[in-house]
Amino acid sequence: MTGREVTLNLDKLFSPGRIAIVGASEGRHYSQSLIANLRRHGFAGSNIFPINPKYETISGIRCFDTLESLPETPDVVAILIGHEHVKGAIETAGKMGIGAALVIADGYADEGEEGRLDQVELGNLALKHGIALLGPNTLGYVRPSSSAGMWCAGTLQTPLRQGGISVVAQSSGMLNVIMGMLGDRQIGVQACVSIGNAAVIGLPEMVRHFGEDPETRVIALVVESIDRPREFAEALEAARRNRKPVVALKIGASQRGQLNSLAHTGRLSSPNQGWKAVFDRTGVFEVFDIDDLVETVTLFDGLTKEGVAGSGTPRKLGFAFATISGGETSLICDIADQEGLELVPLGADTLASLRDGIKKAALIGNPLDLQNTRTTRPEVFWQSLRTLAGDNAVDVLAVRLNMAVKPSQSHISLYREIVELIRTLGVVPVVLSRAYERFDISWWDLFRDLDVTFVMSYRNAVKAMATFSTWLDSLSIDVQSPKAIPAEASSADERSVALSLAQARSWLSSEAIPYVPSGIADNPEDAAVLAARLGFPVVVKAVMPALLHKSDMGGVALDLADGDSVARACVNMFERLSGASGAAGDALHFEVQKMISSGVEIILGMKRDPTWGPLLMIGSGGIYTEILRDTIWLLPPVSPEEVINSLAKLKIWPVLQGARGGRPSDIGALSRLVSQVSDAVVQDGAWVTSMDLNPVMVGFDGGGAFVVDVAMLGDEKMAGDWSA
């Protein structure tokens, strides 16, 4: 479905009072799973209406012949029949005023063009009747607060508890695993939804709904592709404004993964640069496997529930750790450094008190090694925890103590007392384990009773803390709304042609983008005259169609001090390149540029992504671009302030600042140039398909920033309109 003006009410889908099941059967897996999961989540059997003329009862529930024969109109209908009969069931549901539907059948966009068109018809039919349709090709959803266990993929071993996490997945299989993990660990959820092929309800609707839902504290996404990228980005922006953190597991990033996504969803997943740019712009944090997703949203939910992401001015959170192993404190320090988490420095009085109590003059205090004081010197153990949690800079205190496979009564008492102590001092407690150790489910029962967050493994905990801290920081940054994201993703293979250097320079000039003083000459004699006019020293570059890596081919001559040197350089290039390329002699021209002898080289690129439209890339430039791979992707437009925030994430940032006594670069000029280019590609992104400004030379402070080399591709149908 494309962008739509119809607003769907999802209340009947997520808070149904009565549920009909078309195609219910005594022996079918989907039917039995659905009824079992409804019952396990507390949905009354008297409000479940199986539909099948072959049965009088199914699973002990009275069965009806047709939807029309029901004694009451259901709020939602689950359609378990084959896809050739689905539209008839939707038509009947619409005439009855049923407000929501769940369609399990596949064979739509996942089966090629004919199936895609059939899916469009299904979606339009549902919208015509105002039906909030989930699917097709979905296995359902669970919303514990309304007992809506509408899940068809087997009986969930543990019913889901009500909580603040809403999970939206395009993969039913992966959602099944996530729900199993959340259920086993007693982690509360607001909803878990598989959107399937999303004929009507897709990612934009789900993110918007849960972003506005007061009961949802954190949104988790498992996403492969998006067909309405602009609406999706707008929904993510709205969630950010509502201070709802979004954590995403993007699958199908590799080339083989993209092809697999096409095979089972009917949608081709786009390359990852665009997704990364969208996530960065909208404050979404990406994780890379299911364990990472579950641990991250668990910590995010716990911290937001404790109020650390309130509506006030965001500030840097102070994270502290306490454990009972010196080796583990060193490990936590290493992981924190690798994941970018700042371990909050303790006050001088706090540190002195800890060192005095534990009798270690070199104690760093955070992480705190409590050693074996709990058993040998309990008064020191408790006083040390009290001192650490009482430090004014500490907001969150994560503790790791002994954990047997199953908690004893002494464990229960210990953790209860620790959690109460930390909370009494106004600090948020978090419990950690060192790794994915084997624990009895009774541990999660204990932490649920204590209402405390438990995260498995130091790595996941530290990474999630760093991510949460970065998300809080991002809330204080004003970002422009991306204006060039298309309404619909494109699957067309657009044909592009290379613009000549003269055309590319003309485009830069029309957009007032600074280009190094230069000119183009047709022969060595004209090049020498042009060089004298620019002033020596100069650079000469070969200009020839399809010549991309000029330096590697001997097509660049630097620091030429007089006209004779310029002419000789041109003759050498002519002899070297004309024969090598097989091109006619008149295909070779010479660009003469004023030599910029010092500065930092940056690359600024642009490409048009089929899903996200124009994307900007900025990073270390010149000959180091392909060696260092130090780049970041941005969604245009970007303000100069946003550019500086992005530059600070690059490895070359210290060089721009003047590392090791060097002169600082003109970062302001660079940020303005990048912002100008971003505005230009928003305006001309419909025909400029890619651009490579490499290098952009950044002078020292006050020296400006200039494009030194440019290569551009344009849409074949429009690029010809540009003339030199």
Verify that 230 and 96 share a domain, yes or no.
yes
Of 525 and 254, the structure prediction assigns the larger pLDDT to 525
User: What's the per-residue H, E or C state across 441-498?
Assistant: CHHHHHHHHHCCEEEECHHHHHHHHHHHHHHHHHCCCCCCCCCCCCCCCCCCCCCEEE
Cross-strand pairs, 603: 619
Instruction: List pLDDT tens digits, range 26-62.
Output: 989 999 999 999 999 999 999 999 999 999 999 999 9
Q: What is the number of alpha carbons within 13 Å of residue 348 lying toward its C-beta?
A: 0
pLDDT (average), residues 662-684: 93
- CA atoms of 345 and 326, how far apart (whole Å): 18
Specify whether the CB–CB gap between 481 and 326 falls below 8 A. Answer: no
Verify that 119 and 191 share a domain, yes or no.
yes
The confidence score (pLDDT) of residue 516 equals 95
Verify that 126 and 241 share a domain, yes or no.
yes
Verify that 327 and 209 share a domain, yes or no.
no
Instruction: List pLDDT tens digits, range 414-447.
Output: 999 999 999 999 999 999 999 999 999 999 999 9
CA distances from 123 to 114, 193, 557 (A): 14, 18, 62
How many domains does the chain fold into? 4
pLDDT-derived band at 365, boundaries 50, 70, 90: very high
Is pLDDT of 359 > 50? yes
First to last CA, the chain: 42
Out of 260-264, 277-281, 502-506, least confident range: 260-264
Verify that 44 and 152 share a domain, yes or no.
yes
Torsion sign across C-alpha atoms 302, 307, 312, 318: negative
Does a structural domain hold residue 649?
A: yes
Per residue in 282-299, is it b (16+ CB within 10 Å) or e — as a string? bbbbbbeeeebbbbbbbb
Pairing of strands 396-399, 428-433: parallel
Tell the burial category of 157 from Cβ atoms under 10 Å away from its Cβ (0-12, 13-18, 19+): exposed
Verify that 296 and 331 share a domain, yes or no.
no
What type of residue sits at position 416?
R
Query: Could you tell me where the DSSP H helices lie in 68-202?
Result: 86-96, 113-128, 172-184
Does a structural domain hold residue 169?
A: yes
Specify whether the CB–CB gap between 147 and 42 falls below 8 A. Answer: yes
CATH code for the domain in which residue 566 is found: 3.30.1490.20
Given 594, 622, 655, the domain boundary residue is 594
pLDDT-derived band at 494, boundaries 50, 70, 90: low
pLDDT-derived band at 315, boundaries 50, 70, 90: low
Instruction: List pLDDT tens digits, range 69-109.
Output: 999 999 999 999 999 999 999 999 999 999 999 999 998 98
Verify that 279 and 343 share a domain, yes or no.
no
Indicate the average pLDDT of the chain: 91
Does a structural domain hold residue 499?
A: no
The confidence score (pLDDT) of residue 1 equals 44
The confidence score (pLDDT) of residue 536 equals 96
Torsion sign across C-alpha atoms 643, 646, 651, 657: positive
The confidence score (pLDDT) of residue 3 equals 46
CATH code for the domain in which residue 665 is found: 3.30.470.20
CA distances from 145 to 11, 162, 215, 244, 299 (A): 12, 6, 10, 20, 21
Where in the sequence is the domain holding 351, given as residue range(s)?
Answer: 316-455
Contacts of residue 551, defined as CB under 8 A and 6 or more positions apart, other chains included, come to 623
Verify that 633 and 662 share a domain, yes or no.
yes
Does a structural domain hold residue 465?
A: no
CA distances from 548 to 23, 294, 545, 712, 713 (A): 62, 46, 8, 11, 12
Does a structural domain hold residue 511?
A: no
CA distances from 196 to 108, 166, 251, 264, 279 (A): 11, 16, 15, 10, 22
Verify that 589 and 605 share a domain, yes or no.
no
Contacts of residue 417, defined as CB under 8 A and 6 or more positions apart, other chains included, come to none
Verify that 442 and 563 share a domain, yes or no.
no
Does a structural domain hold residue 342?
A: yes
Query: Could you tell me where the DSSP H helices lie in 458-609?
Result: 458-474, 501-510, 524-534, 563-581
Out of 120-129, 296-305, 539-548, least confident range: 539-548
pLDDT (average), residues 683-687: 72
What type of residue sits at position 122?
L
Cross-strand pairs, 285: 247
Does a structural domain hold residue 530?
A: yes
Contacts of residue 669, defined as CB under 8 A and 6 or more positions apart, other chains included, come to 698, 699, 703, 704, 705
Verify that 320 and 300 share a domain, yes or no.
no
pLDDT-derived band at 678, boundaries 50, 70, 90: very high
Instruction: List pLDDT tens digits, range 344-353.
Output: 999 999 999 9
Smallest Cα–Cα separation from 250: which of 206, 190, 292, 188? 292
- CA atoms of 488 and 267, how far apart (whole Å): 12
Contacts of residue 137, defined as CB under 8 A and 6 or more positions apart, other chains included, come to 103, 104, 105, 106, 108, 110, 196, 197, 265
CA distances from 226 to 127, 180, 233, 487, 561 (A): 20, 26, 10, 11, 55
**Biggest alpha carbon–alpha carbon distance for the chain:** 101
The confidence score (pLDDT) of residue 256 equals 55
Verify that 133 and 250 share a domain, yes or no.
yes
Given 431, 455, 479, the domain boundary residue is 455
- Other CB atoms within 10 Å distance of the CB of residue 512: 9
Tell the burial category of 274 from Cβ atoms under 10 Å away from its Cβ (0-12, 13-18, 19+): buried
Given 244, 277, 304, the domain boundary residue is 304
pLDDT (average), residues 225-248: 95
- CA atoms of 718 and 10, how far apart (whole Å): 44
Does a structural domain hold residue 577?
A: yes
Out of 121-125, 265-269, 380-384, least confident range: 265-269
- Which structure tokens are listed for 170? 């395009």
CATH code for the domain in which residue 372 is found: 3.40.50.261
pLDDT-derived band at 582, boundaries 50, 70, 90: very low
Contacts of residue 344, defined as CB under 8 A and 6 or more positions apart, other chains included, come to 318, 319, 320, 366, 391, 393, 394, 395
- Which structure tokens are listed for 522? 């047709």
